[in-house]
Amino acid sequence: MDAEKENGAHCLILPHPTQGHINPILQFAKRLTHKRIKITLALTKFTLKTTTGFSGGSISTRSISDGFDEGGRAHANSSEEYQARFQQVGRETLAELLQDLAGSGRPVDCVVYDPFIPWVLDVAKGFGLLAAAFFTQSCAVDSIYYQAYTGELKLPLSGGEVVVPGLPPMKPEEMPSFIHDHGSYPGTFQMLLNQFRNVDKADWILINTFDKLEQEVLEWMSRFWRVKAIGPTIPSMYLDKRLQDDKEYGLNMFNPMTNTCMNWLDNQEPKSVIYASFGSLAQLTARQTKELAYALTTSNKPFLWVVRSTEESKLPEDFSKSRKGLVVTWAPQLEVLSHMAVGCFVTHCGWNSTLEGLSLGVPLVAMPQWTDQSTNAKLVTDVWGVGVRARADCNGIVSREEIVSCVKSVMESEDGKRIGSNAVKWKGIAREALDLGGSSDKNIEEFVTEIMLKRYPL
């Protein structure tokens, strides 16, 4: 028994098959392996085929099917079709995987799953397993969607300030886009609400945040769920440095132009560079792309701009002749943000990018596009004080003048000094959360202890 116990318990980790959901749950898995939990990462067959550079160490990978093995969700006709097919085929192939792992002598003790795919919890409980829902968005956004799910938040919004427990009063446009623009993308909105349809059966609710960052809303949510803040899920070498081999996420659905980016940054002055990136999913309109392009070129500052290959056609025709910076199709964002040359981060405020900027002490210029990003931008500017919001005009476009003004405010003004000081403060608090004895470290340790006690009762 002692030799067996040395191997630890076994967790199956199952993320939603998108880059922004895989990265945080994979980082959490690395923390578990550091505490001697065996990890199997289950990805869809298409995701496994299309990812590069996975270096999970002792983490093994297995596959399930979403019913679109050749083309992934892009081959589905709609969000609704993809979700329905994934549920049908995913249930069957996940059950087969759990049976196979049990038959191989390493049965699963706990399933950690993304509640974007809530049927995973039903399968896990059908096998009598422990299960943890891993929420990849902020606790604030999770609580807003939960209020919409229960009907406490009445939709459509009637105007005026919106009050949600644990959060400051917000304008309707500061709510997630699916709440503010009720009726848009109904399939995706239903998926977000469905996160909560069976979550009461989960043994834990894990959230990619940390206690001091979202203290009030975490306390509110803890009244009815077993909530554990376990973030920020940033590779250890950028924070507490306790996992010496944890220098990158380790699984890429895009190929970062690492050498190109870092060599260019090495030739720039400290805190002089504007870094602009809108993540793996956000799509700027051609007009917004043009405004951002001219803002960057007229800022009189060097810039590094990530424009995915699928978005390059939106760049102005004369842009390549006038630019003073570097445009790449994908960047190693953590390395970029931690580089001494970077002075501000123009971001869509996706939760992963927000946490990365905050954890690495980089001031933000918030240009939210849709989904949770407006709410994250509200927190960035008005609660944590680590950035400014670039406001759109009546046509929904953030003008070049507005972008330049925001960049100068962050990088040159007295207010920018305050923002920079706040960014450094939150960087320290983020590191403390994951360091030995920090709030997130304790929560992860308690999670591990409970799994071990289930497997090896006293």
Name the residues annotated as catalytic.
21, 114
What is the number of other CB atoms lying within 10 angstroms of the CB of residue 223? 9
Amino acid at 352: N
Q: Which of these, 60, 59, 116, lies nearest to 87 by C-alpha position?
A: 116
221 within 8 A of 145, measured Cβ to Cβ: no
Token representation of residue 192: 């977000």
Q: Which of these, 214, 213, 243, 167, lies nearest to 429 by C-alpha position?
A: 213
**Beta strand ranges found along 85-233 (DSSP E):** 110-113, 130-135, 204-207, 227-229
b/e string for 243-264 if b means 16 or more Cβ within 10 A? beebebbbbbbbebbeeebbeb
DSSP 202-239: -SEEEESS-TTTSHHHHHHHTTTS-EEE------GGGT
Residue 449, CA distances (Å) to 78, 225, 456 in order: 42, 19, 10
Token representation of residue 40: 């199997």
CA atoms within a 13 Å half-sphere pointing along the CA-CB vector of 346: 29
**CA–CA separation, 128 and 140 (whole Å):** 31
